[in-house]
Structure 1
Amino acid sequence: MNTLQRWVSSKWFVPIVSGLLILLSFGVQYIAGGALNPVLSPKWWLDAGAHDTHGGVAFMLSDLLMIAAAVLAGYRILVSAIRALTTGFIGIDLLVSVAAIGAIIIGNFWEAAAVTFLFAIGHALEAATLNKTRSALAELVAVAPDSAVVLRDGEQVEVPAAQVRMGEIVLVKNGAKVPVDGQVVSGTGAIDEASITGESIPVEKSKSDQVYAGTVSRGGFLQVLATGIGADTTLARIIHRVEEAQDAKAKTQTFIDQFSRWYTPGVMVLALIAGLITGDVVLALTLLVIGCPGALVISIPVAIVAGIGRAARNGILIKGGEYLETSAKISAVAVDKTGTLTEGRPQLTDIVVLDAAREAGFDRTQVLRWAAAAEAGSEHPLARPIIETAQDEGVGPEGIPGEVTPVPGKGIVTDVDGTRVLIGNVPLLEQYGIERDAQAGRVANELAAEGETPMIVAVEERAVGVVAVADQIREDAAEMVKRLHEAGVEKVVMLTGDTQLVAEAIGKATGIDEIHASLLPEDKLDAVAKLQREGHTVAMVGDGVNDAPALATADIGVAMGAAGSAVAVETADIALMGDNLLKLPEAIGLAKRTVSIMRQNIAIALITVVVLLAGVFLGGVTMSIGMLVHEGSVLVVIANAMRLLRKPRSESAPQATSKRESTSVRDSVTTQ
């Protein structure tokens, strides 16, 4: 396509040429008559007696130029109106088309040209500014890598990014974009992951770390094993999700769409009745133009597009307009403890040998060995640090245990080489008839009060020791709770399967409002449902596995650290791509700002229509003036929504999070 063809097909061709025809019409009229009076004397033949033959021809040419401007600017509007009618929809284009055709019939050529010209230029400006609100999506598409350097037959080969094959080794050099999702197999480097997580500080990467397509190397050299290519990369999934989300309608937008289906025919009926009663055709046609609900129709989608785009730029994926609107109403946030308020990387902190067991010949190593052997058949996250510590000390479990019986909410019972081993809480021991050991209960309570998770180890019929596992509280957990309250959240609730004492220690350190401990997955669901019965709009933050029932029940399900997780990106109502807890209050704050702007836009649109209608009946508002104000209101609505694209000061300011060391994690494993 050459330059001329691109210009003719551009959105600005019609309004510019139409505007030039209008100016040319004024010029011809001025030369012929010495004055411009197209509105009061639209028909050149009415003034034929006042002009010579040459002047009459000039005025005819002036009117023909006005008609040409109206036809050029109005052709696409009429076509759009006819297409809408074939689907049974009466839209804004029909109102403008009828008004322009009517103005030409009664000889108001200037009004016809002005209305269609202003509507065409409004469409062009609207398209340009809407593209601006979609800038976040354009930026995401722009960061998609074009090429990749891969190792093939021992040589570096540059290929298009789409041609990288799964399992190939990709080389990422300083300054280059990462072309695939993958795992670092060699080298070290700093990767800017802002396009994925919204975090501007580069992340250090080394062997076994994950990297994502579209991120940028800021130093170092990495060899990456490709595990996600093309449409299977995290970046591609984000782009797809943002595209869908920006097109998804909010409940308010659906209502406005239904309202406009009745409103537009209502305006046509009003114009017809006004024309019949007054006998003033110009009044009827003016009402058609004034009543256009353009600003009302655009008020919601433009805010949704801008809000979701702003969120995506900050590493927050919101599923659609309905979820954005619901997020603005969140009054209670339920959070899981492990992996949300804590780092999700528990460590073994204590191994306590009970006095009675010590007298019977048990020592620290034996307690650790029996505990690790029992946990070898457990899928619980707290089993890993016990097994890893045992392996590091040379007493790790060999093979697999015999019969394994998990007891939900209490612990696990296993058979290790014919010996029954229990590891869990006091109720577990009571259930299996193990004699109560006062010291075991006291030690477990002391460790729990420090924020650690204690587990009593029993061999056969005797409690022999207590092991404790603890997780580091996230640095920004307390700040997150504080900012949630500032964002209008009334209650922050912890839902955890851990013991009450551990939960209370974490809750005290983070400022949690309400704690529910020792919960099973179905108990978390009940806790969320209870909050909803109390009248709260509930957001649930969890890992999507153990918390799946609660996430499904909550009004908004939030996935943390969703980068690289296809399931989280596709299923969560809100996906926080990074592990930054402060993104949650940021998402809620952005949702509230978006809904506020939606309401402002609706008010602007309705007030404009009411004022213009009053101006028509009171006199002074013509068809062209009405269209000018109408298009102005559309641009005001769009400009108001575009404020969402600016980063608020609260986001620009440095995060006021202090390094908070958990009192629950000790530097070394202790022995008693």
Structure 2
Amino acid sequence: MKFQLFLTKHTNQITLVTGILIVLGMLSKYLLQFTLGYQVILAVASIIAVIPIAVRAWSALRNKVFSIELLVSIAVIGAFIIGEFNESAIVTFLFLFGSYLESKTLQKTRTAIKGLTDMSPTTATLVTDDGTEEVDVDDVDEGDVVLVKTGSQVPVDGIVVEGNGYLNEASITGEARQINKQLKDSVYSGTMVENGYLKIKATQVGDDTTFAKIIELVEEAQDTKSKAEKFIDRFAQYYTPAVLVLAVLVFAFSRDFRLAITVLVLGCPGALVIGAPVSNVAGIGNGAKRGILIKGGEVVDTFAKVDTLVFDKTGTLTEGNTTVTTMHTYTNNADNQLALAAAIEGVSDHPLGQAIVSYADQQSVGVAPVLDDTGTVKGQGICAQAGKQEVVIGNQKMLTAHNIKLNPTQLKDLNDLQAGGQSTVIMAVDGQVQLIFGIADTIRPGVKDSLAALKAQGIKKLVMLTGDNELTAQAVANELNLDEVHANLLPEEKVEYVKKLKAAGNTVAFIGDGINDSPSIANADIGIAMGSGTDVAIDTSDVVLMQSSFPA
């Protein structure tokens, strides 16, 4: 047992030593013309490499399983008998190298799942009759009320019963922006309160929360074997004894021991042993030249069959950065008004406000005016006093509360922006609307051309799944000529749609970047992650777009 554990622990080192010996053997033969040295070195390499393979074969045989390792071990012994040391050395090395690649993939999977688990909330602030109490998250029951302050994670799925705050829901919906949460709004475990405080009545706790389901979905998908893996498992059960019987029959009829051994050597499953490592090397090498990391030979084979591409929106089709795309002006001094808007929004940490500040910086509008007073209305906007000017900046609710009305032109501009899926911010000075901002996430350069090229190359369906609102999602879908779009989806709903596509006979590739995308990435036939995405998405994927771009 100790010896077997030692071999398992040092298999990678054995593989490396075997590879080095093979190279030295080749140099000895072809550079130094030292044939004896070549044979001795490769014989030593074969002995070193076959030991862990033979141990695995014996372990399987004790469980009455005829494994591929058994056939490789017998083939190596046969190769020794007929003096084919190069055959035995190369076959054993490639077998170990294939096992090494498989173990690295499994290790990354375990790391990815651990990363998800580490991000789960571990404690909660429970609201009691006597105040609050810090408890383990597992001690929170449905119906309990928890308090979540700025900078803390929401520990449960639930409903807001008191408070107001901005949540970063990127871990669940994939949307990088902050979402305002008020009374009766739903919130999810794993999200972060960026500003404000919330009292939340728990509706789902522990393993029933949305974030816990994300982890479970990734684990289930990683444990599910592909069709190719199932075929190889079945193939190995019958192939090994079949080759052994064939070798015995050859010897029985020919009485030629060397011929029987040759059958064993030839029967060694070269395509299985060599195919995966060589495909990995060739595929990864060619992909790397194009900024694409491909994780295995089977990925290349499956990718050729993909007929449906499913995309996340934010951070995948779009850049993931909220920016001002449109500014309608109703004044002759637009630069001064933009500087005023930026000065007011500079006191806010709201993402829409920060987009306006960044836009003003890009436009170089000059020195910001001095503000005499500001006041924030949660979920609506900001009031400010700048000299003798009274300024209101925010959403429609904010303007309605201050009895500020939009004229027909302004109302049309506002409706057009919202119909285009953009968030809007309105600024009025002394009761008159001066600016309307359209704020959206910008589509990645080259995406439209790349998707058109994919269609031309035989992709039948382009689908977008997003947690964003329907208007924004539809606007992006229209711009990119997508076949289908589904909005307001949770991670498990995305997974269900991917499974539905697969059940209908489609070969599906899912492209995403966030933690919330990892279950869909893992469940698709091919999972693709953007290189700028989260570690979990990258580690659970089959392909990584290192440049996070869509070259045509």
Q: Give the TM-score, by structure 1 length.
A: 0.44
Aligned counterpart, 1:574: 543
Distance 1:16 1:498 in 2: 63
Match of 1:534 among 494, 497, 501: 501
Is residue 290 from structure 1 mapped to residue 266 from structure 2 by the alignment? yes
Is residue 347 from structure 1 mapped to residue 315 from structure 2 by the alignment? no
Residue type of the partner of 1:383?
A: G
Aligned counterpart, 2:294: 318
Aligned counterpart, 1:482: 452
Aligned counterpart, 1:383: 353
CA-to-aligned-CA distance 1:14-64 (integer Å, 9 cap, x gap): 767999889xxxxxxxxxxxxxxxxxxxxxxxxxxxxxxxxxxxxxxxxxx
In 2 relative to 1, CA 86–492 (structure 1 residues): closer, same or farther, beyond 3 Å? closer
Distance 1:85 1:307 in 2: 30
Distance 2:89 2:491 in 1: 55
Q: CA deviation at 1:284?
A: 3.5
In 2 relative to 1, CA 373–92 (structure 1 residues): closer, same or farther, beyond 3 Å? same
Q: Residue 70 of structure 2 aligns to a residue in which SS?
A: coil
Q: Is the 8 A contact 1:561 1:576 kept in 2?
A: yes
CA-to-aligned-CA distance 1:185-228 (integer Å, 9 cap, x gap): xxxxxxxxxxxxxxxxxxxxxxxxxxxxxxxxxxxxxxxxxxxx
Residue type of the partner of 1:119?
A: E
CA-to-aligned-CA distance 1:498-554 (integer Å, 9 cap, x gap): 7766655544443322344xx45x447635532431335544444527867766776
Aligned counterpart, 1:10: 24
Q: Residue 562 of structure 1 aligns to a residue in which SS?
A: coil
Aligned counterpart, 1:332: 308
Distance 1:73 1:484 in 2: 48
Aligned counterpart, 1:177: none
Sequence identity (%): 31
Is residue 269 from structure 1 mapped to residue 245 from structure 2 by the alignment? yes
In 2 relative to 1, CA 393–292 (structure 1 residues): closer, same or farther, beyond 3 Å? same
Distance 1:282 1:499 in 2: 72
In 2 relative to 1, CA 475–400 (structure 1 residues): closer, same or farther, beyond 3 Å? farther
Is residue 85 from structure 1 mapped to residue 49 from structure 2 by the alignment? no
Distance 1:537 1:309 in 2: 24
Q: Give the greater-gyration-radius structure (CA).
A: 1
Distance 1:546 1:79 in 2: 45
Q: Is the 8 A contact 1:377 1:400 kept in 2?
A: no
Q: CA deviation at 1:117?
A: 5.6
Distance 2:245 2:432 in 1: 86
Match of 2:87 among 119, 131, 134: 119
Residue type of the partner of 2:289?
A: R
In 2 relative to 1, CA 383–15 (structure 1 residues): closer, same or farther, beyond 3 Å? same
Residue type of the partner of 1:534?
A: L
Choose between structure 1 and 2: higher strand proportion.
2
Q: Is the 8 A contact 1:452 1:469 kept in 2?
A: no
Q: Residue 287 of structure 1 aligns to a residue in which SS?
A: helix
Q: CA RMSD in A?
A: 5.5
Q: Residue 263 of structure 2 aligns to a residue in which SS?
A: helix
In 2 relative to 1, CA 566–401 (structure 1 residues): closer, same or farther, beyond 3 Å? farther
Q: CA deviation at 1:581?
A: 0.8
Distance 1:396 1:337 in 2: 37
Distance 1:556 1:268 in 2: 37
Q: Is the 8 A contact 2:375 2:384 kept in 1?
A: yes
Q: CA deviation at 1:490?
A: 2.3
Distance 2:455 2:500 in 1: 21
Distance 1:389 1:7 in 2: 61
Q: CA deviation at 1:484?
A: 2.1
Q: Is the 8 A contact 1:368 1:386 kept in 2?
A: no
Matches within 5 A, 1:206-245: none
Q: Residue 580 of structure 1 aligns to a residue in which SS?
A: coil
Q: CA deviation at 1:492?
A: 1.9
Q: Is the 8 A contact 2:324 2:437 kept in 1?
A: no
Aligned counterpart, 2:530: 560
Aligned counterpart, 1:587: none
CA-to-aligned-CA distance 1:142-194 (integer Å, 9 cap, x gap): xxxxxxxxxxxxxxxxxxxxxxxxxxxxxxxxxxxxxxxxxxxxxxxxxxxxx
Aligned counterpart, 1:596: none
Aligned counterpart, 2:141: none
Q: CA deviation at 1:298?
A: 0.8
Q: CA deviation at 1:291?
A: 2.0
In 2 relative to 1, CA 20–365 (structure 1 residues): closer, same or farther, beyond 3 Å? closer
In 2 relative to 1, CA 569–75 (structure 1 residues): closer, same or farther, beyond 3 Å? closer
Q: Give the TM-score, by structure 2 length.
A: 0.51
Q: Residue 463 of structure 2 aligns to a residue in which SS?
A: strand
Q: CA deviation at 1:481?
A: 0.7
Q: Residue 492 of structure 1 aligns to a residue in which SS?
A: strand
In 2 relative to 1, CA 18–483 (structure 1 residues): closer, same or farther, beyond 3 Å? same
Q: Residue 550 of structure 2 aligns to a residue in which SS?
A: coil
Q: Residue 304 of structure 1 aligns to a residue in which SS?
A: helix
Residue type of the partner of 2:380?
A: V
Q: Is the 8 A contact 1:337 1:495 kept in 2?
A: yes
CA-to-aligned-CA distance 1:541-590 (integer Å, 9 cap, x gap): 44527867766776655443539x877765655332224312xxxxxxxx
CA-to-aligned-CA distance 1:268-305 (integer Å, 9 cap, x gap): 23322454466564554443233222233212221122
Q: Is the 8 A contact 1:317 1:576 kept in 2?
A: yes
Distance 1:372 1:386 in 2: 10
Flag structure 1 segments of 5+ consecutive residues without an equivalent. Answer: 1-5, 23-67, 102-111, 131-248, 406-411, 583-654, 656-672
Q: CA deviation at 1:438?
A: 7.4
Match of 1:302 among 270, 275, 278: 278
Is residue 469 from structure 1 mapped to residue 439 from structure 2 by the alignment? yes
Q: Is the 8 A contact 1:456 1:466 kept in 2?
A: yes
Aligned counterpart, 1:511: 481
